[in-house]
Structure 1
Amino acid sequence: MVTAPTGQIGSQVVQDLLAAGAPVRVVVRDPARLAPGVAERVEVVAGSHGDPDVAATAFDGADAVFWLVPPVVAATSADEAYSGFARPVLGALRAAGRVVAVSALGRGTPVAGRAGHVTATLAMDDLIASTGVPYRALTAPSFMENTLRQLDSIRERGVFQGPYRPDNPAPLVATRDIAAVAARVLRDGEWTGFAEVPVLGPEDLTYDRMAAILSEVLGRPVRYEQQVPGAADTAIGQARIDMSLAKNDGLDNGVVRTPENTTPTTFRQFLLGAVSHNGA
């Protein structure tokens, strides 16, 4: 059972599960937005997985549920966006065989309690785990895809910007690798209880190093500029700022890298694929 199947992670989870021959059900607000050829190969439940009636139908009889909270731009707080979305459907989640969710790194670090979206995500993990359903939280750092939001500006001006320190090495992961881990864990019926599964990408990178790799891939000089964030206009905007400040203070650096939590796609490989797809 896959939620958010039209998003950048959920859509890849669906494709990975189908490629493995697994039977798949999806819950989606607009079935017309499913990738070409997917609707004919999956069972479709129309609606929001935050609706208790829809969730009860979608999750009923599922061996495993892939859980992903969609963006809730109108939420009055990060906690409402995450736990507030999950709380009405806890009964349906509890009835599922197992639950696998996309979460965030940071548990146990000194800044975990003041990390905005990450703090709220970890609280949602605790809420779902408290139901007793077997639960795996895939804890990830920042996504490589975030860079693509500035790709046109990078090409035109040779600059990409962000709130992060330029010299702070931290893990970075491609969503394709998160999806691959999710599909594998969903198909593994042997685990029980609650645990975090870190998904760290292949290496720690500074933003200055990312700029150097962008320069090499694009064939033109690219530099990184840190922008110190000011006050936000909304609680959700402030949660994003708080998350970035916590990342500068080591939020993503609390997990020891191992072969098991290291995923294969390098930033260079990701960029080469993205530039080829979007046009050089």
Structure 2
Amino acid sequence: MNPPTIAVTGATGFVGGHAARALADAGVPVRLVVRDPAKAPKLPNAEVAVAAFGDRSAVEHALRGIHTVLMVSAQENNTRLAEHKSFIDGAAAAGVRHVVYTSLVSAAPDAIFTLARDHFATEEHLRASGMAWTFLRDNLYQDFMSLMVGDDGVIRGPAGSGRAALVSRRDVAASAAAVLQDAGAHAGRTYELTGPEALTTEEVADILSAGLGRAVTFHNETVAEAYESRKAWDAPPWQYDAWVSTYLAVAAGELERVSPSVEELTGRPPRSLAEFLAGTGQ
């Protein structure tokens, strides 16, 4: 096969893995950048390179000869921003020309959702890197909504009557694959990736009730109640802040805008939460 000029990180995860499969299905050679090669998907026209985000030297080696890379944001942790910057620096040193980064719709230096501030700082580091960039600012994932339901069937958080335009990870992956195949046309562009509607958390609970076949309700906690209820899980302070501020960002309207970007990039409308739960939609 021709040597790949596109690389995908996070290929052992959902978004990176599905984006890589879409490229392989289209006959596009791809390099899968993973931490554990044993977990890399077996795809036609694909090769595997090993690097962790925080290992700049390994990243530089893994991305040699690559023109465009899909940088799927690292898992949440208190060193994620440093890992992102290390990856970007390694990519620039390797001669990468274009980075497509999965960010967040509310990314801003003063975002209410604490982790969105790290996404913005990552974007700024990319802007200053000298490489071309495309930002895919994802809304909250439909895939995780059922995980927000407690054992008692209640979603708890200070979301109020705020709305979020939830998006499926499959639609994010398809959008990323579309951008990667014609990256130059998307240089310097920011796309907000959302579902087709903005839902309150109470509406999310109703849709989950129908889709999961069990009663789900929403309890609008105060901020103090939210921090207290999350003490059921042993977590560092930054994680508690992230959990609670997700709901506060919804309440403030930071995640409510519905965008046409998924359809513009993929040629089909995004899945709704109900379609996701039913396993329908394109």
Question: Residues 109-130 of structure 1: CA distance to partner in whole angstroms, max 9, x if unpaired?
Answer: xx84443100111111111111
Paired position in structure 1 for 2:32 = 26
Structure 1 Cα separation of the partners of residues 76 and 104 of structure 2: 17
Q: 1:136 aligns with which of 122, 134, 137?
A: 134
The 3-state SS of whatever aligns with 1:123 is helix
Residues in 2 aligned to 1:45 and 1:107: alpha-carbon distance in whole angstroms: 30
Match of 2:198 in 1: 204
Aligned twin of 2:237: 234
* Distance (whole Å) between structure 1 residues aligned to residue 262 and residue 211 of structure 2: 26
Q: Return closer, same or farther for 1:27/1:206 CA change in 2, 3 Å cut-off.
A: same
Contact 1:102 1:140 in 2 (8 A): yes
> 1:277 maps to what in 2?
none
Post-superposition offset of 1:132: 2.0
* 1:14-34 deviation per Cα after TM superposition (whole angstroms, max 9, x unaligned): 111111111010111112222
| 1:221 positional shift | 3.0
SS in structure 2 at match of 1:48: coil
Match of 2:48 in 1: 44
- Please tell me the residue identity of whatever aligns with 1:230: Y
SS at match of 1:132: coil
Query: What is the one-letter code of the residue matched to 1:259?
Result: P
Structure 2: any 5+ residue segments left out of the alignment? 1-6, 229-234, 264-268
Q: Partner residue of 1:180?
A: 174
Which structure carries more relative contact order (alpha carbon 8 Å, separation 6+)? Answer: 1
Quick one: which amino acid aligns to residue 165 of structure 1? A
Cα deviations across residues 185-235 of structure 1 (Å, max 9, x unaligned)?
Answer: 011133365331110111111111122222222334322223442277422
Q: In 2, Cα distance between the equivalents of 1:114 and 1:166?
A: 15
Instruction: State the secondary structure of the residue aligned to 1:6.
Output: coil
Counterpart pick for 2:14 among 8, 30, 33 = 8
1:12 match: secondary structure: helix
| CA displacement, residues 139-180 of structure 1 (integer Å, 9 cap, x when unaligned) | 111111112325794xxx4x2314242532221000000000
Q: Residue 268 of structure 1: which of 259, 268, 274 is its match?
A: 274
Kept in 2: contact 1:27–1:49 (CA 8 A): no
Q: How does 1:102-181 map to 2 (within 5 A)?
A: 102-107=102-107, 112-149=110-147, 153=151, 157=152, 159-165=153-159, 167-181=161-175
Alignment root-mean-square deviation, CA: 2.5
CA contact (8 A) 1:48 1:54 kept: yes
Counterparts of 1:216 and 1:89 in 2: how far apart (Å)? 42
Greater Cα shift, 60-69 or 178-187: 60-69
Q: Give, as a single letter, the amino acid of the residue that structure 2 aligns with 1:22.
A: V
Query: In 2 relative to 1, CA 119–265 (structure 1 residues): closer, same or farther, beyond 3 Å?
Result: same
The percent identity for this pair of structures is 25
Structure 1 counterpart of 2:4: none
Show CA shifts across 1:12-68 (max 9, x none): 111111111110101111122224x33x64111123133112211222121210002
C-alpha distance in 1 between matches for 2:121 and 2:243: 16
Q: TM-score, normalised by structure 2?
A: 0.81
Q: 1:31 and 1:240 mapped to 2: Cα distance? A: 31
Q: Which amino acid aligns with 1:101?
A: Y
Query: Is the Cα contact below 8 Å between 1:98 and 1:133 reproduced in 2?
Result: yes
Q: How many residue pairs get matched?
A: 258
Letter in 2 for 1:169: R
Change beyond 3 A, Cα 1:258–1:172: closer
2:253 counterpart (235, 250, 255): 250
CA contact (8 A) 1:60 1:92 kept: no
* Structure 1 residue 81 corresponds to structure 2 residue 75: no
Amino acid at match of 1:43: E
TM-score of the superposition, structure 1-length normalised? 0.82
